[in-house]
């Protein structure tokens, strides 16, 4: 453990990048996922098919392959992305497919009569979706999205494959330097666990807060 204590700043820096990638990817994944969910529920046949194909191909391919496509594949066409930017883009695209399914289920859980009543009261369908349907759907979607968020936190370890110095990569570099495995891997496991517990606590508080309203 002495080696871990001597290198705690480096591990904390790795944890910072893990959190940064997680939060950024989840933010853009939420936006994209909600758009895709609405396309699947309220779009025409063409939009529904596009959304369905997107979800199918993203969920049916490994996240590591998606990361390689964004980082290495795009470079074939002259698009050179910094590794951390490529990581955020790839993980945002990946997580959006899972969030879309969570939102789709939540949107379909809202009784159809509420939309009909809102339209009958003079709202447009867009206004009804914005003011009545989506707020309720978000509340229903919080538990599955919370699980997805925690899963995203752990999936960030995959971006070590493109040399992003997040928590997993930091441990790998220290192992390569000291030729000692167990202390560093146990420590990052505890750090991942601590971050997962923290985010689960926050999400549970958000869920309880939304349930009140």
Look up residue 128 and give its two tokens: 């009804």
pLDDT tens track for 104-151: 888 777 777 777 777 777 777 777 777 777 777 777 778 888 888 888
| Cβ atoms of 95 and 29 closer than 8 Å | yes
Question: Is domain 2-212 in CATH 1.10.3720.10, yes or no?
Answer: yes
Q: Which residues of 62-71 are buried (b: 16+ CB within 10 A; e: fewer)?
A: ebeebbbebb
Rounded to whole angstroms, the Cα distance separating 9 from 31 reads 33
> For 52-63, what is each residue's pLDDT tens digit?
999 999 999 999
Mean pLDDT of 152-159: 90
Give the confidence band of 42 by pLDDT, cuts at 50, 70, 90: confident
pLDDT category, 67, cuts 50, 70, 90?
very high
Could you report the per-residue pLDDT of 159-192, keeping only the tens digit for each? 999 988 899 999 999 999 988 999 999 999 999 9
Mean pLDDT of 68-94: 94
Query: How far is 53 from 60, CA to CA, in rounded Å?
Result: 10
Domain boundaries, the chain: 2-212
Q: Which residues of 184-204 are buried (b: 16+ CB within 10 A; e: fewer)?
A: beebbeebbeebeeebeeebe
Residue 97 gets which letter from DSSP? Answer: H
The Cα-based distances of 34 to 5, 21, 145 in angstroms read 43, 20, 11
* pLDDT of 210: 66
The pLDDT value recorded for residue 123 is: 78
DSSP 132-188: IIHHHHHHHHHHHHHHHHHHHHHHGGGGGGGT--SHHHHHHHHHHHH---HHHHHHH
Share of the chain above pLDDT 90, in %: 51
């Amino acid at each position: 453990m002495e080696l871990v204590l001597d290198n705690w700043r480096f591990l904390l820096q790795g944890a910072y990048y893990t959190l940064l990638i997680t939060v950024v990817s989840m933010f853009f994944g939420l936006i994209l996922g909600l758009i895709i969910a609405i396309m699947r529920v309220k779009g025409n046949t063409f939009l529904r098919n596009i959304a369905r194909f997107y979800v199918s191909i993203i969920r049916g391919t490994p996240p590591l392959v998606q990361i390689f496509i964004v980082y290495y594949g795009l470079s074939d066409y002259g698009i050179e992305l910094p590794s951390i930017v490529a990581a955020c883009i790839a993980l945002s695209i990946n997580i959006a497919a899972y969030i879309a399914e969570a939102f789709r289920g939540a949107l379909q859980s809202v009784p159809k009569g509420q939309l009909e009543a809102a339209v009958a009261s003079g709202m447009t369908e867009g206004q009804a979706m914005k003011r009545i349907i989506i707020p309720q759907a978000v509340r229903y979607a919080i538990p599955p999205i919370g699980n997805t968020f925690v899963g995203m936190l752990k999936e960030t370890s995959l971006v070590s494959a493109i040399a992003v110095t997040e928590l997993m990569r930091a441990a790998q570099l220290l192992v390569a330097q000291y030729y000692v495995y167990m202390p560093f891997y146990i420590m990052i496991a505890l750090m991942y666990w601590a971050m997962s517990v923290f985010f689960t606590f926050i999400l549970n508080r958000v869920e309880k807060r939304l349930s009140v309203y």
